[in-house]
Structure 1
Amino acid sequence: MDSLVSTEWLANEMGASDLRIVDCTKHLPGTGRDPLAEYEAGHIPGAVFMDLSDLVDSTHPVENMLPPAEKFASRMQSLGLGDGSRIVLYDDSAVKTSARAWFMLKMFGAHDVAILDGGIAKWKAEGRALTQGKESLRHRHFTAWQDDSNVRTKAHVLANLHSKDEQVIDARGAARWSGAEEDPRPGIASGHIPGSFNVPFTTLYNADGTFKDKAALKATFEGAGVDLGKPVITSCGSGVTACVLIFAMHLIGKDDAALYDGSWTEWGNDPDTPKAVKA
């Protein structure tokens, strides 16, 4: 299974015993949207709902940090996602939350994970079937395992300011990256990590919500000044759209990209971290 699958591919594979479809929609605060209610009102047949708001480290002072391996494995088992499953993720979120779910599943040991290109919006636009209510699958064993080699902490990023071993790419919109627009979270500074490049995650998609082709993805990163031959750390507001950058780089064969999980929520909230703005 490819890492990016089409609606046509999914429609043809539905019913396969090892296939698991997952709605992992999460919305930004203030949208007034309820992802679980939307899922129950209409989802791709067979899909279970992954609650990303619960898949966090509830003991960490920074919001939306990656959960412990045992908690993640337990939640996957209860969804019926287990060792040997082929997992297809989709969302209906403006911040493309399926990429965050993909990153976590890969980090915690799942091998066969894909994102549905265009998400449920494309599925609906093509007039494909939807199901209402809530799906429940038999529990399956998910081995608790963790590889955090592609995760960076604030200490890592601070050290990298001097070593410059890794490039930092920020997935936020240009106005927030430059500091022209205030951060929506109270108490969080404006601006960006010094030396970081800006590749807004929205620039990686076509108008219909599908990913750009490989050549266009490559051109988008290079056009922002990124050297694709060197390792990368991605950042955003709270570690969600940074995963879109990682997934897009994976699509073009670049797998040495790491996630700064605390992202600007952590960096911008610390008065001691250096911040840059662009006039």
Structure 2
Amino acid sequence: MRDAAERRVKAVQDDPKTLVSTGWLARHLDDPDMRVLDASWYLPDKGRDPRTEYDAAHIPGARFFDLDDISDARSELPHMAPPVEKFMSRMRAMGVGDGHQVVVYDTAGLYSAARVWWLFRLMGKDDVAVLDGGFPKWQAEARPVEDLPPVPRDRHMTARRQNYLVKDVTQVAAAAKLGDTEILDARPPERFRGEAEEPRPGLRAGHVPGSRNVPFQALLNGDGTMKDAPGLRVAFEAAGVDLSRPAITTCGSGVTAAILNLALERLGKTDHALYDGSWAEWGQFATLPVATGED
């Protein structure tokens, strides 16, 4: 009875379009059309080099996805979504293309991997999932790792940008003024309230007026895995979020906001987008209103 119940839980959890378990990836790791990406990324003040960590140990066959490199070099904002042509070119060179199932992980558990999941979705690619619990869970289960990068074979990729999945500052300002959309901020509460300085210099403290604080950690279990659907729903509702309304997610620079998008997708909600510039953009313009406290 217990084994059957566990299998039912796994069947509900594993979804190759959103989130998969370490067990699911282990079973499919050698599939010819499986591509695994290490999308680890950290704020500069963390003192960690994700590329060096990748070189030391990664899931067998994983390619390293550099968030700062695979971005829009024309923008002064950090790791903005790249042009379609650049994304396709980088993926082809990494041997990632049409017909592949992509699984993305990071070395924090569930942090920057969701951003790459969102990027693939933005480019019209749906066969992509985040590894639940990431590399820490994979290692804790004594699963295999290697320190040599794979030798990629060029694979054709086609992409078509899905503009409804991303919002710019003008669209977010309009949504905040109209109040017809839930703006969800994934930053820690003290940053949302304006009580802590931003890690990037020169930014004002606070949040977009009318937005709600849903710290991304509230969507995770203690082991870094994502909460189940009832737990996610409770977390959003505890923050005062009306899940029947469209949603725009935001954070410091558009990375952890994607965890909220992933969680919303897990709840079957599809009318959500990500504010790519996030607070790195909003916080630098004196002409944009800023709220502090609990708003």
Partner of 1:127: 142
Say which SS state the counterpart of residue 106 (structure 1) adopts: helix
In structure 1, which of residues 183, 188, 192 is the aligned counterpart of residue 207 of structure 2?
192
Instruction: Please give the alpha-carbon distance, in whole angstroms, between the structure 1 residues aligned to 2:24 and 2:224.
Output: 17
Maintained 8 Å contact 1:169/1:233: yes
Q: CA deviation at 1:61?
A: 2.5
Partner of 1:111: 126
Partner of 2:36: 21
Maintained 8 Å contact 1:177/1:191: yes
Partner of 2:9: none
Residue 234, structure 1, aligned to residue 249, structure 2: yes
Q: Percent identity?
A: 47
Partner of 1:73: 88
In the superposition, the TM-score normalised over structure 2's length comes to 0.92
Aligned length: 279
Q: CA deviation at 1:95?
A: 7.0
Partner of 2:197: 182
| Per-residue deviation, residues 70-124 of structure 1 (Å, max 9, x unmatched) | 0011111111110110001100137711000000011112121011110010000
Matched letter for residue 275 of structure 1: V
* Range that drifts further, 91-100 or 136-145: 91-100
Instruction: Please give the alpha-carbon distance, in whole angstroms, between the structure 1 residues aligned to 2:150 and 2:49.
Output: 17
**What are the ranges of 5 or more consecutive residues in structure 1 without an aligned counterpart?**
none
Residue 244, structure 1, aligned to residue 248, structure 2: no
In structure 2, which of residues 224, 231, 243 is the aligned counterpart of residue 216 of structure 1?
231
Q: Give the CA RMSD over aligned residues.
A: 1.2
Q: CA deviation at 1:2?
A: 4.7
Instruction: Please give the alpha-carbon distance, in whole angstroms, between the structure 2 residues aligned to 1:7 and 1:85.
Output: 18
In structure 2, which of residues 30, 50, 62 is the aligned counterpart of residue 47 of structure 1?
62
Partner of 1:30: 45
Residue 268, structure 1, aligned to residue 283, structure 2: yes
Instruction: Please give the alpha-carbon distance, in whole angstroms, between the structure 1 residues aligned to 2:17 and 2:88.
Output: 23
Instruction: Please give the alpha-carbon distance, in whole angstroms, between the structure 1 residues aligned to 2:17 and 2:117.
Output: 13
Partner of 2:179: 164
Say which SS state the counterpart of residue 149 (structure 1) adopts: helix
Say which SS state the counterpart of residue 41 (structure 2) adopts: coil
Partner of 1:149: 164
Instruction: Please give the alpha-carbon distance, in whole angstroms, between the structure 1 residues aligned to 2:175 and 2:143.
Output: 47
Partner of 1:6: 21
Instruction: Please give the alpha-carbon distance, in whole angstroms, between the structure 2 residues aligned to 1:95 and 1:66.
Output: 20
Instruction: Please give the alpha-carbon distance, in whole angstroms, between the structure 2 residues aligned to 1:16 and 1:64.
Output: 31
Maintained 8 Å contact 1:27/1:94: no
Say which SS state the counterpart of residue 30 (structure 1) adopts: helix
